[in-house]
Amino acid sequence: MRKATRRPEGAVLLKGARERRVSSGDVELCVAELGDPRRPTIVLVHGYPDSKEVWSLVSERLQERFHVVLYDVRGCGRSTAPKPLRGGFTLEKLTDDFLAVADAVSPGEPVHLVGHDWGSVQAWEFATAERASGRIASFTSVSGPSLDHLGHWMKRRATRPTPRRAAQLLGQSAKSWYVYLLHTPALPEIAWRGALGKGWPKILKRLEKVPAGPYPTPSLPRDASHGAWLYRDNIRTRLRRPRQDCYAHAPVQLITPTGDIFLSRHVYDDLDEWAPSLTRRTLPTRHWAPRTRPDQLASWIEEFVDARHRGRTSEPAEEPRSPHADRFAGQLVLVTGAASGIGRATLFSFAEAGARVVAVDRDAEGAARAADAARLIGAPRAWSENVDVSDAQAMEELAEKVAQEYGTVDVLVNNAGIGVTGSFLDTEVEEWQRTLDVNLWGVIHGCRLFGRQMAERGQGGHIVNTASAAAFQPSRALPAYATSKAAVLMLSECLRAELAGQDIGVSAICPGIVSTGIAGTAHFVGSDEREEETLRRRTSRLYRIRNYPPEKVARAVVRAVVRNQAVVAVTPEARSARFLSKVLPRSLRAFARVNPPIGASKQGLAKGFERTGRERA
């Protein structure tokens, strides 16, 4: 046995961690433990050029319920490096290291494995190697494919090319530019021990918005120099001759950052073949998710470990009820105006995707019914809150309660609104105030309060504001309503620009005529009670004839969040109005002068309804 090198100095310890040394061949590994050792053990494996401290934010969130173990990979942090470096970083030796750690921290019990970047690459080796079978209860992979799987993926696209496969192969080859550089002699070591190593924290902050903390550690230049041998010892060998028996012997959770600049999402297209029990998740962030999205990662890891620890280690993952279950499972979504119409349908769409949902409405019973139905549809947790969105104090209390009891909202849908129609001169100040309080100020309150919580958390999020086709289509019949919705549209655009730097998306949804209950509750200014009820029935009938279901709008809301769309016009008339507002605005202004059947003067409407009634009689 070769003598281990001197213990590295200058690495940063995790706060409250219990440290031990574990021998593996000719190296000593620095192992840190958090939480109660009697609980299920989660082993977190870091990537390149990181040390175990990259997991500090995630481990803090997991340690209350689990025994969390982190270790510095050989040659990194407070672990020693093999001598010589060449040949000392093969996947076989990395597997020896993992097994030594697992035996030390969890003798006799399998561990739940989590890997990021090269930690995931080597963890795939552990999860597919026969000698590690029975030592892994579950495996969560973040931003790191199996080299064997990647080798098969590349060979299939090279030997049986199609235009789509060729594009995928070229795309990943371009993203792998750094791999070629790391194979060059001496150059990576010189760069990391020089300007690159000194500037790396600033690079991460600029490119990935990685917050400051115990990561990166002072040992980074040495760690990165040693870690270059991970690529040199493994990449070419495995990609040229990938193993055939590389099937996962434990359930796998794949978490794919959608903005990963190093890995194409397509490299996981064939993964179902190699991992029979596979759960897919997508995360709207870049490569260093353990630093930028620790809450979501910890939540998914906790959920996955809990399910497998209860004895369901061999059954396949449940089929999602929504195509977006990989994106929203476990996230917290709050919807205002959720008791009916578009709000209720939107709540259900997120519930089908496995999100935790909060139904907010001034109709307490309706919100409660919506929350109950959301649980049946698929939401793991659903709550209802009785709040008038126009009440600033009530909204502040709601935001505080949600943060304390449910957590920070990941997706906010400001949907609550009221309808009002009638000429400008007939609309009293009180009606203007009521319309703006709900339709505009309700959105402002939601964006201000929950948007601030998202920004302070620093882990992204999304805000959806329901505007209307009326936002870009002037109408003599809807001055108050159109004004409020146009303000919502502009507010959304301004907020999107402000929050983009914090990875918080903002979308404005602009539906046209949709079959909801808004027509039945709309106020027709200048009408007495009897006339107003007649107008409501007539308008509601027209909406039913149009028969555009709110479920289609809800699906557009979910897509807008997934795609981070700025403005989404829903329904054909809404898309036409938006197009004309950009290309032929004069035509919209001319059309706005037409006296419509709905929203005209009360005398004209009443006569029209009387005539319709006589004709039918």
The answer for 109, left when phi > 0, alpha when psi is -120 to 50, beta otherwise, is: beta
Q: What is the DSSP string of 6-56?
A: PPP-SPPPPTTPEEEEEEETTEEEEEEEES-TTSPEEEEE--TT--GGGGH
Q: How far apart are the first and last CA of the chain?
A: 103
Q: What torsion do the CA atoms of 515, 534, 528, 416 make, to the nearest 10 degrees?
A: -10
CA distance 387 to 298: 31
Instruction: Tell me which of 231, 481, 543, 548 is the catalytic residue.
Output: 481
CA distance 28 to 23: 5
Strands 18-24 and 27-34: antiparallel
Cα Rg, the chain, nearest whole Å: 29
H-assigned helices in 423-465: 429-436, 442-457
Contacts of 467 (CB under 8 A, 6+ apart): 485, 486, 488, 489, 492, 508, 509, 510
Q: Which two tokens stand for residue 296?
A: 């979501």
Spatial CA neighbour of 466 closest among 451, 449, 453, 447: 447
Stated as kind and residue range, the H or E segment containing 268 is none
Backbone angles phi and psi of 279, in degrees to 5 = -115, 125
Q: What angle do CA 341, 602, 468 make, to 5 degrees?
A: 30
Q: How many CA atoms lie within 13 A of 240 on its CB side?
A: 5
From the centroid of its chain, how far is CA 37?
31
Helix axes 163-175, 147-159, angle to 10 degrees: 140
Spatial CA neighbour of 512 closest among 579, 445, 444, 566: 579
Stated as kind and residue range, the H or E segment containing 498 is helix 479-499
H-assigned helices in 214-324: 220-240, 271-274, 289-292, 294-309
Strands 27-34 and 67-71: antiparallel
481 is catalytic: yes
DSSP state of 72: P
Contacts of 29 (CB under 8 A, 6+ apart): 21, 22, 23, 71, 72, 73, 74, 79, 97, 100, 101
Active site residues: 481
